[in-house]
Structure 1
Amino acid sequence: MQKRTPYVMAFIVLLLIEVIIALFIHDRFIRPYIGDVLVVIVIYCFARIFTLKIKLLPIYIFIFAVAVECLQFLNIVGCLGLGGNTLANVVIGTSFDWKDIICYAVGCIFIVVIDNIVQIKNYIMI
């Protein structure tokens, strides 16, 4: 459990940041870009709470994020009749944007870089 504690803490903090961004920040940079970078990191931290290290997890998360973005292109919220549901609009999203996919990629690259730094640090400390 000790190895999972940092992921629990990171998940909670990053989720709170995402909620604050979604509810209170309506700008043209933080909400659309930083929020999208952070969302894949939040998903990664959540997955790592319950799983051991999966080498390709950042790629799986990227594929999941792109799939959700494609569902936005297909207007899945409207198709499911959830257009009036604010939570569904925020969680699933309502508009496809290629820039979102780039942000997801940046977030996943960040995950890989940080994981490698932590691995090197742990290796050196042994």
Structure 2
Amino acid sequence: MTFRFDPASFGRAALLFVVLVLLATFGRNLGWVRSFFGDVLAVAWVYYVIRTFVRAKPVTAAAIAFACGAAVELTQYVLTRIDVQISNRLLRIVFGATPDWWDIVAYAMGAALVLVLESLSNRKKTR
């Protein structure tokens, strides 16, 4: 892995960030779209942030992005087990407050999604 700046990944990360902010602020009534799809997009966002600044294999970057999501979920689980409540509204929006195994599934789907998109992008480049 080496450091670099990739404008295309930066653009994708910026676009996903805007979508995630819109989901977090205006998606309150969207149910599973906000929660599950938001988690899928969050891992994709982390992936593109990594790819913006680090030259790494897509599988490696996707694994790191998935691990970040899993770490957030583990933190939520530990905090609920020791009965710590997240009272800060912004932290509750960003990190959530309730651990859920479906979130792990969403993170895995996000990692798989970016790998599929990278594969499709590489196919177009070789043609």
Is the counterpart of residue 49 in structure 1 residue 59 in structure 2?
Answer: no
CA RMSD, aligned part only? 1.7
Query: 2:32: which partner in 1?
Result: 29
Return the alpha-carbon distance in structure 2 between the equivalents of residues 99 and 39 of structure 1.
14
CA drift at 1:53: 2.9
Is the counterpart of residue 108 in structure 1 residue 97 in structure 2?
Answer: no
Q: Deviations over 1:19-52 (max 9, x none)?
A: 1100111222211111010000111111111011
* Structure 1: gaps of 5 or more residues: none
Query: 2:86: which partner in 1?
Result: 83
Among 53, 72, 78, which residue is 2:76 paired with? 72
Query: 1:62: which partner in 2?
Result: 66
Query: 1:8: which partner in 2?
Result: 10
Percent of paired sites with the same residue = 26
CA drift at 1:84: 2.2
Aligned length: 119
Return the alpha-carbon distance in structure 2 between the equivalents of residues 31 and 52 of structure 1.
31
Q: State TM-score, norm by structure 2.
A: 0.85
* Structure 2: gaps of 5 or more residues: none
Structure 1 ranges of 4+ moved more than 2 A: none
Query: 2:41: which partner in 1?
Result: 38
Query: 2:97: which partner in 1?
Result: 94
